[in-house]
Amino acid sequence: MCDYTEVCSQLKMSEGRIDLTMSDTGRVSIHNSLYSRYSRNHVEGVSVEVCHIMTLLGYGEETRRRRVEKYRENDMLWNAQHLDSTFITAGSKAEGLTCWLESDHDLLFMPKGVLCVEAGIDLHTIPDEIEVYMMDTRAYPGHCRMLLERCDHTHLHFDNKVLCDDGNGNTLLSSGLLLDVLSKRKFNIGAPLERAGPSLPRLIGQEINIDLVFAVHCQCPGILQRWAQRSRHWPPPDVVQKVVSLGSVVTPIGFRGSEFKYFEWRICFNMGETELVNNLTETQAKVYVLLKMIVKEVLKPKKKEITSFVLKSLIFWQAERNATAMFKDRNLIQWLHDALGTLRTVISSTQLPYYMIPERNLMAACGLQEEQQRKWVADIADMMEEGPRVILRLPKIRRAIICHPEPLLWFSRKRLEMEMLRLEWMIRFEQSRRDANGECDFSDIILTEIQRRMNEIALVVCLRMFMEGGIVTLQNDIFSSLLM
């Protein structure tokens, strides 16, 4: 691995742009006018080095796979104890792209006795004990209203507090009323925080933020088939079919610009999108991570004008339209430059088709003000002119470059071991629940040993910091820094 001086010398690249064009055969050629002062070899060297650094920071393929496996295992254990609902880890945790405390934990919970279906679904194929709602898609694209089609034989799953008449004799399930009811409900997950959109945030301890989102499972084969039939480079056919088989959900949030938003629901594909992210190449995933870092550290949106969801759709379109073989480590900076160019266009035009339902504009009613829009367009233009040097704007990457090779490698190994132990602790915690109230047997030998080793790692890191003249903090702070 290069040291800081070597990397910085390679990063002194000139301005430019990448021109992407699609040939008749579907192959993409990158006409590279990005570099005028340094050779392609220099830029490719920086790309490879940044990829290596990101692997050490926890964004490599092997680490991603291990995280995904652990969260899936934890979901299975959790759901084995909850007979009336299904819980699914979503977002960056399910995608394996963030460490334990690096971002919030997104968690969907879905009642098992309720189903939302697209028009044309044969209700006779659905068990009688399932309460069925029909999707009324006469709303902004990607949204719907839920009309009660069939209640189960014993009772309505939802009480009358959240049901209302649409004026035409149909019974609607109101997203707004349901959220009001849910926000007052006691969940056996942490302490409640202020509601945010469809999310019911919870806080576990002092550091773990859970974004709990209610969802109803949805059958919408027509929407998914339209997505599946598009001409594409990516994902491969088997992944396309798996995404279709995973179906969708609807969540209680309407289109922000709609006068009927409190009655509308958003059509989401959380499980399918997780599968898509998990099938990105390592380089594509790292471009996505870098793009999120740039938005967070450089653009710094205050009101979620640009979200990870927007960036994810942007990366999906980039992957679909370009040959997968072109996404190599040595091309990381090129593809990041391309993604920044697309993001600049998205912001200036306030247009970005949702990857799963292109008719839905993800930037519609995003709240982006004209002055903020101009500033961000200019900021991105400046970043594009910097070429590969743009990564020096990112504190996490910059600190890793400054760090000498041996300390970075040593710390990365300790950090990865700590994170994997924490994930194992999470799973063992679920396995050790000893009664119906969910109390855990903390005397469990494996839990005890995992905690002992975690304490040992924190102590070793403290000692090294002391020996190297660093500021030694409390053990809890060491735990946090290792899991960020």
Alpha-carbon span 447 to 56, nearest angstrom: 27
pLDDT at res. 482: 86
What pTM was computed for the model? 0.90
How far are the Cα atoms of 27, 124, 202, 228, 366 from residue 107, in angstroms, in the given order? Answer: 39, 31, 10, 26, 23
- For 37-80, the pLDDT digits (tens) are 446 887 899 999 999 999 999 999 999 999 999 999 999 998 98
Closest CA to 147 of 108, 125, 174, 183: 174
Q: Could you tell me which residues are beta bridge partners of residue 432?
A: none
How far are the Cα atoms of 321, 330, 364, 414, 471 from residue 457, in angstroms, in the given order? Answer: 45, 34, 48, 7, 17
Q: Could you tell me which residues are beta bridge partners of residue 214?
A: 109
How far are the Cα atoms of 55, 91, 216, 431, 463 from residue 421, in angstroms, in the given order? Answer: 19, 21, 33, 15, 20
pLDDT at res. 476: 67
Residue 346 has pLDDT above 70, yes or no: yes
Task: Please report the domains of the chain, with CATH numbers, ordered by start residue.
Answer: 4-63+280-399 (1.10.1410.40), 82-268 (3.30.460.90), 404-482 (no CATH)
- For 388-421, the pLDDT digits (tens) are 999 999 999 999 988 878 888 999 999 999 999 9
At 482, list the tokens: 């290792």
Could you count the other beta carbons within 10 Å of the beta carbon of residue 434? 12
How far are the Cα atoms of 60, 83, 280, 421 from residue 73, in angstroms, in the given order? Answer: 20, 17, 21, 14
Alpha-carbon span 464 to 406, nearest angstrom: 13
- For 207-247, the pLDDT digits (tens) are 899 999 999 999 999 999 999 999 999 999 999 999 999 99
Pairing mode, strands 85-90 and 191-192 = unpaired
At 339, list the tokens: 């993604």
